[in-house]
Amino acid sequence: MSEPVKPDRFFYGWYIVASCWFSFFITYGVVIFAIFVFYEPIHTDLGWSRGLFSATYSAGILAMAITGPVIGKLIDVYGGKLIMFAGALIIGTAVFSFSQVTEPWHFFLGYITAGVGLAASSGISINAIISRWFQKRRGLAIGITYTGMGAGGFVMSPIAELLIQSMDWQSTMLIFAILIWSTLIPLTLLVIKSDPYQLGLEPDGITRNTIDSSKKVKRSEVYAALPGISLSEAVRTSKFWVVVFVFFTALFSSNGTFSQVQPFVLDLGFSTTTAATLLSLIGLLAAITKFTYGYLSDKIPIKRILSFSTAGATIAPLLLLTASTLDIPKWVFLLCPIPLGIAATAFSTLVPIAAASAFGIRHIGAISGSLTSCMLLGMAAGPFFMGTMHDATGAYTIPAAIAAIGMSIAIICLILGPKLVYEEPQTSS
């Protein structure tokens, strides 16, 4: 039996974490957070309603959801590096196309393309890569990586506001496209490795007793030795569908509320700078939150963490409901970034952690890709539902109430549902 390998002075996996962090910082900072800063100038120039803008955003998220399982499977077969490289090319092209839009279908097509690029360059690829580089400190590594999302929102939203004010929104989009191409493409090519075996290393926490790295083995042989069940086996368990429902509902509610922060703050009479500052604050809180949830997931069962974040995220639609229906001070809605940043932004971090905890890591690409797709379906449906219902009724009363009710049901499902822990099947002797 081989002896365990002592880790290098500095494990290369942390370079992977840093690179993936920066990918989140750029892509989510621009396409998920800063994009809402463009609502007012696009509305002024092109006359698009918030329902149309929200639908465009939702179309991109829907594209992420639809392509997620396919991308997850490709990652399991070809590795995350190649998929991340393709995603960087695609998302840069999509952001460049935003600078040229004149018709709604231009923006729809561009955001759908951006959604595909985002799925490949960030979330699903990164989930699989980090999960294979780390085992004992997987939660910490994922938590650190996902702070890039919030940091990107904190930095990119005010930068977008400043650039738009000093130039115009088209030039700002062009600058962001160049930034994506010039940073993510070389970073992916030079630093990212799909798994530690490409460098003759082992995952953090996996010893030679599990995988004999003294001889060269195929990727398929390596993955076959890892614990876990297939996607087809996972979907036959009740815990898979509990997780699916929780992630879908949480993102339907949270992202639906988040997408309306910018226009609703303007409705209340505050300035565009105030609205951009709130988006930036959500990003800052998200950066802290994602690290905290990732760190705690190494110490606390994932079911408890999901229950806490779901309960906290329920406050966001309740604030929207209260501010839009009751005669209360306008500044009360300015508290919305707190539950959105502290609780609602946790779910993307928890997808790979929940997948690995409940189903193992052998097929982490396919399973986390499918869970991410379900989450993204909620992420896409929420803004579309909120925006179109507002356009139809002139208020957020109905959509905010539905979102809050859905979150309450999700909390009950978590409390009464099965444990989210993977157990190796028992074999008869």
Express each pLDDT in 97-108 by its tens digit.
988 888 888 888
Provide the token pair at 173: 């989009």
Which has the closest alpha carbon to 20: 114, 136, 149, 111? Answer: 149
Cα–Cα separations (whole angstroms), residue 330 to 126, 153, 257, 270, 323: 40, 24, 16, 9, 7
Which has the closest alpha carbon to 72: 358, 379, 293, 361? Answer: 361
204 three-class SS: strand
Q: Is the pLDDT of residue 207 over 50?
A: no
Q: Is the pLDDT of residue 230 over 70?
A: yes
The DSSP-derived string for 316-336 is: HHHHHHHHHHS---GGGGGGT
Which has the closest alpha carbon to 38: 183, 164, 141? Answer: 164
Q: Give the CA angle between residues 71, 69, 387 to the nearest 5°.
A: 105
Judge contact between 360 and 226, C-beta under 8 A.
yes
Which has the closest alpha carbon to 257: 333, 325, 338, 316? Answer: 316
Q: Is the pLDDT of residue 3 over 50?
A: no
Q: Is the pLDDT of residue 243 over 80?
A: yes
**Average pLDDT taken over every residue of the chain:** 82
Q: Give the CA angle between residues 314, 308, 13 to the nearest 5°.
A: 115
Cα–Cα separations (whole angstroms), residue 327 to 198, 330, 331, 332: 61, 9, 12, 11
Task: Give the DSSP H or E segment for 309.
Answer: helix 302-313
Q: Is the pLDDT of residue 171 over 60?
A: yes
From the centroid of its chain, how far is CA 350?
9
pTM for this prediction: 0.68
Q: Is the pLDDT of residue 208 over 50?
A: no
- pLDDT one-digit tens code per residue, 109-150: 988 999 889 888 877 788 788 878 887 787 788 888 888 887
Residues with Cβ within 8 Å of residue 96, at least 6 apart in sequence? 173, 174, 177
